[in-house]
């Protein structure tokens, strides 16, 4: 009998930000395959006896290959298990969800996707900010700061990313942000554009750094740090105290 996979979005790491549906799926799961940022207190919702399997990926650390993670999902489901694939933030944002869905579709395994709080939204909330502002921040754009090699992607839409009336959120960009800022300034974005570095959002070690894009680029060039982080820049950061 074929099992079923629930892709559960765990939010930024704070267990109080889990949805009721996410908690219900964790309590019912026979196996939980979890990302690094979904570990800790969130796993306390898993039932006793469930298999807990770490499959997270972190830059600069040994990590399981994506095809191995997808194979594990299929293998567990083929035993008839109820499987939770626990992803950080929202599963549909830079979480390699599509590759895992493709593997399940090929194997004829059913699944559901349970949305969660994106890290960008949690970071803005922690800083006391909205993500949009009437008249001068009508657009929000999410972009990854790293390609498959870990470097700055080549195909960036610089005209969009340098738009002074857009709020931009950069995922996985702390190591490439200095190079990105050079290109943004060359494309016309003011070097004094406000920025926010949000580290370990939703975790006890959460830290928010208010800066400008150039000051933040200099800081990250000197010490990129190791905590997971998102970077926000644009007109909304003007409201930071």
d(CA 145, CA 230): 10
Q: Which one of the listed residues 21, 36, 57, 147 is annotated catalytic? A: 57
Angle between helix 97-107 and helix 66-78 axes, rounded to 10 deg: 40
Q: Which residues are within 8 A (CB) of 65 and not within 5 positions of it... i.e. 6 or more apart?
A: none
Contact yes or no for 196/209 (Cβ under 8 A): yes
Active site annotation includes 57: yes
Q: Which residues are within 8 A (CB) of 83 and not within 5 positions of it... i.e. 6 or more apart?
A: 3, 4, 5, 6, 29, 30, 31, 32, 33, 73, 76, 77
d(CA 33, CA 182): 39
Helices (H), 127-233: 158-161, 177-186, 213-222
Q: Which one of the listed residues 14, 35, 90, 163 is annotated catalytic? A: 35
d(CA 35, CA 209): 25
Contact yes or no for 240/219 (Cβ under 8 A): no
d(CA 46, CA 222): 40
Active site annotation includes 21: no
Residues belonging to the active site: 35, 57
């Amino acid at each position: 009998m074929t099992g079923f996979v629930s892709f559960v979005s765990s939010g930024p790491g704070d267990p109080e930000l889990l949805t009721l549906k996410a908690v219900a799926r964790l309590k019912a799961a026979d196996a939980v395959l979890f990302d690094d940022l979904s570990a800790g207190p969130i796993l306390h919702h898993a039932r006793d006896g469930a298999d807990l399997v770490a499959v997270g990926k972190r830059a600069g650390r040994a990590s399981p290959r994506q095809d191995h993670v997808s194979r594990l999902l299929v293998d567990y489901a083929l035993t008839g298990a109820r499987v939770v694939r626990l992803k950080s933030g929202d599963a549909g944002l830079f979480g390699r969800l599509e590759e895992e869905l493709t593997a399940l579709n090929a194997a004829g395994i059913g699944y559901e996707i349970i949305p969660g709080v994106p890290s960008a939204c949690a970071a803005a909330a922690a800083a006391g900010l909205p993500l949009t502002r009437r008249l001068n921040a009508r657009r929000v754009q999410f972009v990854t700061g790293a390609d498959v090699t870990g470097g700055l992607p080549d195909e960036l839409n610089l005209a969009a990313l340098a738009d002074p009336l857009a709020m931009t959120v950069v995922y996985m960009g702390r190591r490439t942000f200095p190079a990105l800022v050079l290109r943004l300034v060359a494309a016309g974005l003011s070097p004094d554009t406000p920025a926010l570095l949000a580290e370990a959002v939703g975790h006890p070690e959460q830290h928010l750094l208010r800066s400008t894009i150039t000051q933040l680029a200099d800081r990250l060039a000197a010490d990129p740090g190791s905590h997971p982080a998102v970077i926000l820049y644009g007109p909304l950061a003007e409201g930071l105290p």
